[in-house]
Amino acid sequence: VCIKAFGAASRHSKEVNALIAKAKRNAELSEIEKLSKEKNLQVCCMLDLRYLPQVPKVCEIIKSGEIGEIKNVTFTGQHCLDYGNRPMWYFEEGKHGGTINDIAIHGVDLVRFITGKNLTKVNCAKTWNAFADKEPDFKDCGQFMAEFDGIALMADVSYAAPKFNDIMPTYWDFYFWGTKGLLKFNIANNEIHIYKNEEEIIECPNSKSEYLRDFISEINGVKTIMNTEDILKSQRQVLEIQNASE
């Protein structure tokens, strides 16, 4: 959602929900934040990884200290380029907003949600063109290393996945290394894998994404896990990483 669209919505006192990242620059995000406060409007983004079936149990395990203090996190969120099916504006200069901004917000938001930690340092970030040979100015690959209050995070959010009829193993694959063990989970199933002296597999019950329900609840004054303040924090932190790549 560009700032013009948000501004138009706010003038008519309309709440805003976005499928992908809302702002391309810090100034735009600051304006969105200002308008939402002035008009008392809620902002939502489709950060639906928070609703994966494993997430409540992962939060419980990490909070309990079962795998110790979290030191390192890695995730991959590789997508298919899907050239020819995505709208062509996607590849036009200045309209996409950046591969890290577009994709990494989902993974960074989930890491923040699970650990309670916020971005403190961007060590390095890079975006470049590798797969979109028809659009050489489109930087389809994105990788970065960053720190979240003592946790080292490394991620790949490139449009590098082949067009595949099933879920690629590199599509939202998360690893949390603690001082007592390793925890991993993937969007493709309901399993949590814990590695200490031996492997333990926990099967989690099915769940469904309720981000729109929670968005409506927030509009009605009921606090949920999908609130405007937290969404804007995730967006600002991912913009900082994206800016480091430019």
Q: E strand or H helix at 55, and its extent?
A: helix 55-64
What pLDDT shows up at residue 1? 44
What pLDDT shows up at residue 16? 52
**What mean pLDDT is predicted for residues 217-241?**
92
**CB atoms near residue 52 (< 10 Å):** 19
How far, in Å, are 50, 96, 127, 143 from residue 93 at the CA level?
31, 7, 14, 20
Regarding pTM above 0.85, the answer is yes
| 143/93: higher pLDDT | 143
**What mean pLDDT is predicted for residues 226-244?**
93
What pLDDT shows up at residue 31? 82
Residues in the chain: 246
Q: How confident is the model at residue 11 (pLDDT cuts 50, 70, 90)?
A: low
Fill in the DSSP letter of residue 103.
I
For the ranges 75-89, 121-135, 171-185, the lowest mean pLDDT is seen at 75-89
Cα–Cα dist 178/50, whole Å: 20
In the block, residue with structure tokens 């489709």:
46
What pLDDT shows up at residue 4? 47
| 226/124: higher pLDDT | 124
pLDDT in tens, 173-183: 999 999 999 99
What pLDDT shows up at residue 174? 98
